[in-house]
Structures are given as structure tokens and as C-alpha cells.
Amino acid sequence: QVQLMESGGGSVQTGGSLRLSCDVSRYTASTFCIGWIRQAPGKEREGVAAVDSDGNTKYADSVKGRFTISHDRAKNTLYLQMNSLKAEDTAMYYCAIVPGVSVVAAQALVDYGLKGQGTQVTVSS
């Protein structure tokens, strides 16, 4: 069974930075969309950033200019560099993957993507 393992969450102050990592070494599909989704208490799950197997990226408007997604294929690791963190970024962050789609269909990560256990990000003032 494919497993996605997230790491890198933690507690930071407003304006701080964190880098999330996701081990995707057990996923071997040649075409896919992979990315990060998050869910804050009492809110619906939402897409944060995605990258597909062609290297195309997509970001939620709320994180554009602050977050950067990258996929290191040599290390089989997905990253999310988060800068200028805000209190509203506080959430559980999940790595998710969907085979056979591009970032155009990144919503699929939220709707039915294979997800990891998540890593908590807490931003406080």
C-alpha cells in the first residue's frame, strides 16, 4: 500500500518560515499531480499548492508569493517552503497525490487524493 509521510510541521511566530517534506518514494506512477492540502479546525479542507509530473505548479491565492512547492525526484521528496507565515495558515497539512492528472485538476487532491497522516502547523502572534 502506498504511504505518504509528511514531516516538518511545528509552531512558529507570525512572519516565520517552515519547510514541510513528504516522502513519496513508495509512489511510482509516471504521471501524477502531487501537492499539499490543509484543514483548519472547523473549516473545510482546501488545496494549498500542487505540482504535476510535467513540473507545472498551482497555488491557492492565499499563499501565492509566500509558499513554494517543489518535487525533488532524485530524493523522491515533495517540499513546501512556507515563508511569511500568518495566523490563518494554522492547520493540519497533508501531502496528497492523484495519478494521471495535471495541476489543472488539482482539486482532485482535496476531493479524492491519497493522503498522508498530516503534520501540524501552528502560527501564533
Render pLDDT for 18-62 as a digit per residue (tens, 0 to 9).
Answer: 999 999 887 777 889 999 999 999 999 999 999 999 999 999 999
Cα-Cα-Cα-Cα dihedral of 94, 92, 12, 3, to 10°? -30
DSSP bridge partners of 92 = 39, 120
CA distance linking residue 16 with residue 8, whole number of Å: 14
Q: Which residues have a Cβ under 8 Å from the Cβ of 98 and sit 6 or more positions away?
A: 32, 33, 34, 105, 108, 109, 112, 113, 114
- At residue 10 the predicted structure's pLDDT band, cuts being 50, 70 and 90, is very high
Q: 91, 117, 2, 105: which is closest to 50 by C-alpha?
A: 105
> Given this model, what pLDDT does residue 27 score?
76
Give me the amino acid identity at 8.
G
Judge whether 65 and 85 are in contact, CB under 8 Å. Answer: no
| Span of 1-5, 28-32, 75-79, 109-113 with lowest mean pLDDT | 1-5
Average pLDDT, the chain: 94
What SS3 state is found at 87? helix
DSSP bridge partners of 39 = 92
